[in-house]
Structure 1
Amino acid sequence: MIYVANPLYDAVFKYMMEDERIAKTLLSALLQKTVIAVEMRRHEYPNISRDAISMFRVDFAATVLEDDGSKNLILIELQKTWLETETLRFR
């Protein structure tokens, strides 16, 4: 039997995003820019019991290559909630 990890689950998503190659690939696709370097910053708010607003959040600092060749450091916050109506804010 083969088991496949589902990235919709917080633990699997967190494990995948801790791999720099995977994080750079995903963030490059989302940003439509070349990500040169990425650093995961620890910042999570889990609520396992689901009795209140529950959110999983991961912060990144990424260096991206712009079209003109310059490099910019950007801060990225990825949020994942149990319900799509629970997103608290956008940056």
Structure 2
Amino acid sequence: MKIANPIYDIAFKYLMEDLNIAKGIIGRIINRKILEIDFKPTEYVTYIDFLDGKAGKTMRMDFRAIILNKAGEKQKVLIELQKSKKSLELKRFRNYLGDQYRRPDNIIIKRVNDKDVEELRKTKKH
């Protein structure tokens, strides 16, 4: 029997596209129970110049998940998995997070002006 080596991008990508495997691996990394996980269609392989002047390849995969937080409550989270031989600059990651937080489909709003959103929706219908 041959086993694919996940150090190679294509094998890693193949493994992580299996949502049960992704759920297990990511759950272990973040130390949380993952209730649901979706692979977002934003997998990137890019060639970049590292800080030491050398070029390299990095792979990113995005997931959206519902986890149980420490309080036992459901929480919607975005997970970006990066695979590279070298670490990337922090600025790129912060820009990515900012873009994701601006997308309405990635945000759950529970309260507005200290009022429950579901209650506000009910009062608007009447």
Question: Structure 1: 5+ residue runs without aligned partners?
Answer: none
TM-score (norm 1): 0.80
Alignment partner of 1:88 is 2:89: yes
Q: Matched residues, percent identical?
A: 37
**Counterpart in 2 of 1:52?**
55
- Whether the 8 Å contact between 1:41 and 1:60 is mirrored in structure 2 is yes
Could you say which structure has the greater relative contact order, defined with CA pairs below 8 angstroms and 6 or more residues apart? 1
Q: Which has the higher helix share?
A: 2
How many Å apart are 1:44 and its aligned residue? 3.0
CA radius of gyration, larger in: 2
In structure 1, distance between residues paired with 2:75 and 2:57 = 32
- Whether the 8 Å contact between 1:20 and 1:38 is mirrored in structure 2 is yes
SS at match of 1:59: strand
Alignment of 1:10-89 (within 5 A): 10-47=9-46, 52-81=55-84, 83-85=85-87, 87-89=88-90
Count of matched residue pairs: 87
> Structure 1 residues 61, 25: CA separation in 2 closer, same or farther (over 3 Å shift)?
same
Q: Per-residue displacement from partner, 1:26-54 (whole Å, max 9, x unpaired)?
A: 11101111000111112233247xx8342
TM-score (norm 2): 0.60
